[in-house]
Amino acid sequence: MQRRRTLGLLLAAMLVGAAGCGSSDSGSGTASPAGRGKTTQVTVGIIPIIDVAPLYLGQKKGFFADRGIELKTVTAQGGAAIIPGVVSGQFQFGFSNTTSLMIAQTKGVPVKSVVNGAASNGKVGADVTGVLVKKDSSIKSAKDLAGHTVAVNTLQNIGSTTVRESVRKAGGDPDKVKFVEIPFDQMPAALDGGRVDAAWMGDPAKSIAEQQGARIVASPFAETDPKLTVATYFTSTQITQRNPGLVKKFTEAMAESLEYASRHPDEARQILTTYTKIDASLLDTLTLPAWPAEVDTASLEKLASLGEQDGLFGDKKPDIQALFS
């Protein structure tokens, strides 16, 4: 049911895409207060997790303003929900996990990745996401997840695909894992209350769950590929064609933001308090992703292969070069 609902949203977005993105200037140009030309208002769809900290840092440091971009952010539950917003013109850019973008491409949705977003830090047991269980759970490893219920933020996507790979590598049966959809910010309570046996989550939810006594039994991203490109910022193909100047400015500002966040991890942690409800006392416990400038093509090919194995793409295969290069 969830998959059909998501695909329905994507197809609806495609139908209204021409109307929503038909302007030759995506984003409204308004005179800046200082009169130094025009400021383009750009709306970005994001997920309120630590992965997008560079975007907020770049906004704070003026990297976008320096290029005439006035940012507005809108939050969503996951990349699958953001894609229709970008295609319809509700957002000019969006942040999405790479599997959601691959699924969209194979369904004919006109999207294009423009700059890297986040990657695994490669540390098993201390990666940006993990599968957590209650302290007294009988689940000791990824293998033990077979036969249990695992929460993910979006069904049939990067979370379930990489969790299944962790179970597979540990010698368990991935087909016996039952996935349920729960927003990240609700996962700690769902796990603590026994609504699910395990939950795949990143920070700040992961640190909150650990504060409640939960423990990590798997690191799906790192176990799938230590250099896994997890998410990127993307736009519609119409915007890339009709407003390449805006795409270039956004990409440059985002690249500068990624570099800054990589060199200033404490500031990346601190900025999280401006767009999530995390307690400042947990900042030092947050696990940061890697924020490389470029996507890792080999890891994306591997992720695509796993997606095919899980039946995410129907009878088509994603074109990694066309989508991410």
pLDDT tier for residue 282 given thresholds of 50, 70 and 90: confident
Q: What is the pLDDT of residue 114?
A: 98
Q: How far is CA 300 from CA 16, 101, 103, 113, in A?
A: 30, 11, 13, 13
Neighbours of 56 (CB within 10 A): 20
Token pair of 82, please? 């953001």
Residue of higher predicted confidence among 14 and 268? 268
CA distance 63 to 71: 11
Using DSSP, state whether 248 is helix, strand or coil: helix
37 — pLDDT class (breaks 50, 70, 90): low
Can you give the pLDDT at residue 34? 37
Using alpha carbons, select from 73, 51, 55 the residue that is nearest to residue 63.
55
| Confidence band for 68, pLDDT divided at 50, 70 and 90 | very high
pLDDT score at 76: 87
* Pairing, β 198-202 against β 149-152: parallel
Share of the chain above pLDDT 90, in %: 80
- For the chain, the average pLDDT equals 89
In terms of C-beta distances under 8 Å and separation of at least 24 residues, what long-range contacts does 57-64 make, across chains too?
57/257, 57/260, 57/261, 57/264, 57/267, 57/268, 57/271, 58/253, 58/254, 58/256, 58/257, 58/260, 60/271, 61/257, 61/260, 63/253, 63/256, 63/257, 63/260, 64/250, 64/253
More confident residue, 78 or 53: 53
Domains of the chain: 2-120+228-324 (3.40.190.10), 129-224 (3.40.190.10)
Q: Region 221-234: what's the mean pLDDT? A: 98
Residues 177/145, Cβ–Cβ less than 8 Å: yes
CA distance 261 to 257: 6
Closest CA to 141 of 215, 208, 226: 215
- What are the b/e assignments for 176-212, b being 16+ CB within 10 Å? ebebebbbbbbbbebbbeeebbbbbbbbbbbbbbbee
| Per-residue pLDDT at 278 | 82
pLDDT tens-digit readout, 149-205: 999 999 999 999 999 999 999 999 999 999 999 999 999 999 999 999 999 999 999
Between the two ends of the chain, the Cα-to-Cα distance in Å is 33
Give the containing element (helix H, strand E) for 74: strand 69-75
Predicted local distance difference test score (pLDDT) of residue 22: 29
